[in-house]
């Protein structure tokens, strides 16, 4: 390769234009194909997908719905085979079942199929010849394939495991939970396991109007409707499984909203939910090893006006590969300190909500990591350790953390150690009774979001202080409230609602978007997409659109394979348009009939690197 390890290197592709085409668009010189789609059988005995003959058992052996986070971990030294690990965040029942009318009319069979369509898939994949193309390994040769669903047994670890707040009638010890829900983004640990964030778990619970009065404030803070038995849009899952009825099981919601760890190399392993990392609407977790050897996880809480967190382990990573080393590393996320970010600002008096760049030429400032827990003890007055970890939002509220514009995915540059956070948007910023714009969240009614860059003091990920800046304030570059690190705005792609982040081999940031708020001349929203942008060097801020997804879809996640020859992309909820259904589809991607969420791979058939 002629490209050096300098950010900006390699991004020579011709950007695609914003568009509204019901297909996947990639740049000239690239190929793309569906790698796996909703309903494809992945476990032995699972039937081929048939939308008219779907069953909970079939779905539990098939690829789940609404794929989001994805990664490929290697199965051999040359990375010719791997395990594709994919989150299944949520279900669109109206796009899964013919004639679905929703709410109380849903059948328990449909509910059990939806429960089985959540969770995670592990799928063996292999490289085609020596190219960047990948394919699913054929049935007889698979050994690692696995499905996790909303019913898979899992265990709690850490200081809140066994807490009274996690105990239910079905689990009187508070240590064992069934399933994982709303698995959004995630991360790969240095010891080869997968982390997965449980995000909008609130939507699955009903009956919180009947919860004990003392439980209601926390339920409400986590977005669970405490005013009525069946909030609008409810799935009525209590009819399929009473644990979703908060009147009967007031602690069951406390058992979701965690970071789950899965060992993809051991299909028999029990997934763990790590209470030491706190409970909120976890987008994902980005794990790095600090110079000192401690393991650090950066995490976002995706809600308007919620916070950025980090976890620092009590013990150091062991670099050996003995059984004792592996056993020790597998427990790194079970004890440590949990911090929340509080920001300082350099130009506070100049921020008026318009997004105008301050006179010092930067949205920037300092920051402090405020510890909520340390050494297994609470540092929050009036809250015990398990209360801090189960009701982390309440703890962070108390210490004056900085309210952000929906912290989504976080990723750390291997090249520089800088930490990047996607702040996706915040329609309520500056509204009556809500937090005003500040230097890190500089626009009121923020429709397009921004990218936040955090630099730990001394490059030490375990540091308690940092500096920060905004390299990109998103939107149409013609809009004066946008900022692209000072790069010539006539040369950048419009970008809106950054959600997921990844880096390529040269340190370029790859940004997936969710909810593109930019429109064409007819007022139709441009589709979401994948963008590549240099964050170092002379091209810093030069955002280029690489890919766009079909109608109604979110460009949920992208993973650049480490050899820089492929990008694997999660196309989530194609056809998710109000009023659309299986029989009245808004999108017919990928197969020309009805919409199916799918993972695609894109690569250059000439063998050159991604981005070239
Ligand atoms: Fe599931 Fe915050 O995106
Ligand atoms: Ca400033
Ligand atoms: Ca996301
Ligand atoms: Ca999102």
Average pLDDT over residues 273-283: 98
d(CA 293, CA 461): 10
Q: Is 46 in the pocket of ligand 1 (CB under 6 A)?
A: no
Q: Which atom of ligand 1 is nearest to the CA of 68?
A: 1
| Buried b or exposed e, range 28-40, using 16+ CB within 10 angstroms | eebebebbbbbbb
**CB-based contacts of 327: which residues, under 8 Å, 6+ apart?**
none
With contact defined as beta carbons under 8 Å apart, do 504 and 611 qualify?
yes
Average pLDDT over residues 449-472: 98
Note the ipTM here: 0.94
Residue 2 confidence class, pLDDT cut points 50, 70, 90:
very low
Q: Which atom of ligand 1 is nearest to the CA of 182?
A: 1
Checking if the pLDDT of 122 tops 50, the result is yes
How do 153-157 and 272-274 pair as beta strands?
parallel
Residue 134 confidence class, pLDDT cut points 50, 70, 90:
very high
Ligand nearest to the CA of 438: 2
DSSP letter at 15 equals: P
Preceding peptide of 186 cis, ω within 30°: no
| Buried b or exposed e, range 162-184, using 16+ CB within 10 angstroms | bbebbbbeebeebebbbbbbbbb
Give the Å distance between the CA of 91 and the centre of ligand 3: 15
Checking if the pLDDT of 1 tops 70, the result is no
Give the Å distance between the CA of 410 and the centre of ligand 1: 12
Which of 25, 128, 40 lies closest to 88 in space, CA to CA? Answer: 40
DSSP letter at 525 equals: B
With contact defined as beta carbons under 8 Å apart, do 567 and 530 qualify?
yes
Q: Is 408 in the pocket of ligand 1 (CB under 6 A)?
A: yes
Which of 314, 329, 332, 298 lies closest to 375 in space, CA to CA? Answer: 314
Q: Is 405 in the pocket of ligand 1 (CB under 6 A)?
A: no
Burial class (CB in 10 A: 0-12, 13-18, 19+), 441: buried
What is the pLDDT, as a whole number, of residue 8? 63
Ligand nearest to the CA of 347: 2
State residue 422 phi and psi, 5-degree precision: -85, 120
d(CA 145, CA 82): 11
Q: Which atom of ligand 1 is nearest to the CA of 514?
A: 3
Q: Is 199 in the pocket of ligand 1 (CB under 6 A)?
A: yes
What is the pLDDT, as a whole number, of residue 10? 82
Ligand nearest to the CA of 344: 2
d(CA 569, CA 588): 18
d(CA 569, CA 126): 16
Least confident segment among 99-103, 461-465, 559-563, 585-589: 99-103
Closest residue by Cα to atom 1, ligand 1, is: 184
Q: What's the sign of the alpha-carbon dihedral 252, 255, 257, 261?
A: negative
- Cβ neighbours of 290 (radius 10 Å): 19
Ligand nearest to the CA of 181: 1
Q: Which atom of ligand 1 is nearest to the CA of 281?
A: 2
What is the enclosing helix (H) or strand (E) of 156? strand 153-157
Give the Å distance between the CA of 365 and the centre of ligand 2: 7
Give the Å distance between the CA of 327 and the centre of ligand 1: 32
Give the Å distance between the CA of 497 and the centre of ligand 1: 11
Give the Å distance between the CA of 306 and the centre of ligand 1: 13
Q: Is 171 in the pocket of ligand 1 (CB under 6 A)?
A: no
What is the pLDDT, as a whole number, of residue 6? 57
pLDDT in tens, 332-361: 999 999 999 999 999 999 999 999 999 999
**Residues with a beta carbon under 5 angstroms from ion ligand 3:** 184, 499
Checking if the pLDDT of 481 tops 50, the result is yes
pLDDT in tens, 401-453: 999 999 999 999 999 999 999 999 999 999 999 999 999 999 999 999 999 99
Q: Which atom of ligand 1 is nearest to the CA of 302?
A: 2
Checking if the pLDDT of 5 tops 90, the result is no
What is the pLDDT, as a whole number, of residue 517? 98
**CB-based contacts of 421: which residues, under 8 Å, 6+ apart?**
298, 300, 308, 404, 407, 408, 409, 410, 451, 452, 453, 454
d(CA 592, CA 406): 35
pLDDT in tens, 506-536: 999 999 999 999 999 999 999 999 999 999 9
Q: Which single residue is written with the structure tokens 């149409």?
A: 476
State residue 156 phi and psi, 5-degree precision: -90, 145
What is the pLDDT, as a whole number, of residue 130? 82
Average pLDDT over residues 189-214: 97
Ligand nearest to the CA of 350: 2
Residue 7 confidence class, pLDDT cut points 50, 70, 90:
low
pTM: 0.98
What is the pLDDT, as a whole number, of residue 4? 46
Q: Which atom of ligand 1 is nearest to the CA of 408?
A: 2
With contact defined as beta carbons under 8 Å apart, do 24 and 550 qualify?
yes
Q: Is 609 in the pocket of ligand 1 (CB under 6 A)?
A: no
Q: Which single residue is written with the structure tokens 């899992």?
A: 154
What is the enclosing helix (H) or strand (E) of 217? helix 216-221
What is the enclosing helix (H) or strand (E) of 602? strand 598-603
d(CA 194, CA 549): 26
Give the Å distance between the CA of 321 and the centre of ligand 4: 37
Q: Which atom of ligand 1 is nearest to the CA of 199?
A: 1
Give the Å distance between the CA of 563 and the centre of ligand 4: 28
Q: Is 89 in the pocket of ligand 1 (CB under 6 A)?
A: yes
What is the pLDDT, as a whole number, of residue 363? 98
Give the Å distance between the CA of 569 and the centre of ligand 4: 15
Which of 433, 445, 436, 308 lies closest to 372 in space, CA to CA? Answer: 308
The more confident residue out of 31 and 3 is 31
The more confident residue out of 321 and 8 is 321
Distances in Å between the Cα of 464 and the Cα atoms of 163, 259, 306, 314, 342 are: 28, 22, 20, 15, 11
Give the Å distance between the CA of 184 and the centre of ligand 4: 8
Give the Å distance between the CA of 183 and the centre of ligand 3: 9
Q: Is 283 in the pocket of ligand 1 (CB under 6 A)?
A: yes
Farthest-apart Cα atoms in the chain, separation: 65
Q: Is 198 in the pocket of ligand 1 (CB under 6 A)?
A: no
Q: Which atom of ligand 1 is nearest to the CA of 185?
A: 1
Residue 326 confidence class, pLDDT cut points 50, 70, 90:
confident
Ligand nearest to the CA of 449: 4
d(CA 47, CA 19): 37
Q: Is 303 in the pocket of ligand 1 (CB under 6 A)?
A: no
Looking at the DSSP bridge assignments, the partners of residue 371 are: 339
Query: How many helices (H) and strands (E) in the chain?
Result: 6, 32
Ligand nearest to the CA of 424: 4
State residue 394 phi and psi, 5-degree precision: -65, -40
Checking if the pLDDT of 83 tops 80, the result is yes
Checking if the pLDDT of 9 tops 80, the result is no
What is the pLDDT, as a whole number, of residue 141? 87
Give the Å distance between the CA of 531 and the centre of ligand 4: 15
Which of 211, 88, 93, 107 lies closest to 150 in space, CA to CA? Answer: 88
Average pLDDT, the chain: 97
d(CA 450, CA 436): 16
DSSP letter at 327 equals: H
Average pLDDT over residues 95-121: 96
DSSP letter at 54 equals: -
DSSP letter at 457 equals: G
Looking at the DSSP bridge assignments, the partners of residue 453 are: 420, 469
Residue 571 confidence class, pLDDT cut points 50, 70, 90:
very high
Which of 505, 488, 417 lies closest to 459 in space, CA to CA? Answer: 417
Q: Which atom of ligand 1 is nearest to the CA of 200?
A: 1
Residue 33 confidence class, pLDDT cut points 50, 70, 90:
very high
What is the pLDDT, as a whole number, of residue 384? 98
Q: Is 93 in the pocket of ligand 1 (CB under 6 A)?
A: no
């Amino acid at each position: 390769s002629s490209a050096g390890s300098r950010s900006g290197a390699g991004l020579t592709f011709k950007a695609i234009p914003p568009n509204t085409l019901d297909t996947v668009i990639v740049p000239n010189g690239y190929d793309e194909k569906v790698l796996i789609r909703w309903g494809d059988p992945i476990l032995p005995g699972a039937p081929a997908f048939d939308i008219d003959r779907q069953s909970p058992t079939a779905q539990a052996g098939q690829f789940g719905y609404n794929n989001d986070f994805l990664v490929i971990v290697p199965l051999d030294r040359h990375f010719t085979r791997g395990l594709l690990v994919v989150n299944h965040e949520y279900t669109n029942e109206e796009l899964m079942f013919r004639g679905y009318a929703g709410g109380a009319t849903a059948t328990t069979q449909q509910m059990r199929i939806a429960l089985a369509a959540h969770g995670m898939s592990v799928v063996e994949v292999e490289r085609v010849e020596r190219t960047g193309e990948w394919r699913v390994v054929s049935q007889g040769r698979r050994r690692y394939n696995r499905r996790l669903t909303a019913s898979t047994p899992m265990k709690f670890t850490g200081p809140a495991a066994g807490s009274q707040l996690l105990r239910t009638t079905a689990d009187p010890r508070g240590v064992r939970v069934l399933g994982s829900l709303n698995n959004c983004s995630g991360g790969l640990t240095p010891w080869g396991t997968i982390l997965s964030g449980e995000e909008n778990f609130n939507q699955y619970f009903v009956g919180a109007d009947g919860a004990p009065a003392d439980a209601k404030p926390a339920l409400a803070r986590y977005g669970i409707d405490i005013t009525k038995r069946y909030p609008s849009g409810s799935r009525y899952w209590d009819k399929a499984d009473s644990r979703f009825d908060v009147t009967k099981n007031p602690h069951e919601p406390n058992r979701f909203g965690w970071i789950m760890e899965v060992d993809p190399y051991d299909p028999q392993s029990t997934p763990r939910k790590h209470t030491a990392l706190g409970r909120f609407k976890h987008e994902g977790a980005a794990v790095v090893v600090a110079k000192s050897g401690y393991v650090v996880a950066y995490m976002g809480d995706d809600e308007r006006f919620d916070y950025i967190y980090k976890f620092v382990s009590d013990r150091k990573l062991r670099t050996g590969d003995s059984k004792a080393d592996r056993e020790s590393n597998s427990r790194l996320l079970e004890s440590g300190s949990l911090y929340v970010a509080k920001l300082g600002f350099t130009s506070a008096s100049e921020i008026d909500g318009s997004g105008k760049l301050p006179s010092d030429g930067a949205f920037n400032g300092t920051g402090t990591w405020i510890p909520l827990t340390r050494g297994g003890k609470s540092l929050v007055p009036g809250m015990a350790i398990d209360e801090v970890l189960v009701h982390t939002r309440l703890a962070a509220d108390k210490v004056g953390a900085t309210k952000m514009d929906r912290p989504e995915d976080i990723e750390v540059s291997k090249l520089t150690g800088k930490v990047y956070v996607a702040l996706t948007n915040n329609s309520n910023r500056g509204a009556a009774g809500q937090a005003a714009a500040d230097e890190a969240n500089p626009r009121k009614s923020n429709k397009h979001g921004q990218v936040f860059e955090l630099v730990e003091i001394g490059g030490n990920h375990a540091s308690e202080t940092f500096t920060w800046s905004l390299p990109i304030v998103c939107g149409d570059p013609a809009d004066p409230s946008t900022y692209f690190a000072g790069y010539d705005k006539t040369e950048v792609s419009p970008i809106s609602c950054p959600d997921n982040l990844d880096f390529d081999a040269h340190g370029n940031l790859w940004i997936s978007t969710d909810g593109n708020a930019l429109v064409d001349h007819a007022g139709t929203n441009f589709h979401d997409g994948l963008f590549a942008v240099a964050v170092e060097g002379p091209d810093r801020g030069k955002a280029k659109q690489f890919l766009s997804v079909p109608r109604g879809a979110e460009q949920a996640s992208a993973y650049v394979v480490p050899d820089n020859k492929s990008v694997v992309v999660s196309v989530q909820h194609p056809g998710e348009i109000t009023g659309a259904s299986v029989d009245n589809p808004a999108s017919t991607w990928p197969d020309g009939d009805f919409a199916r969420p799918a993972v695609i791979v894109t690569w250059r058939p000439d063998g050159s690197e991604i981005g070239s």
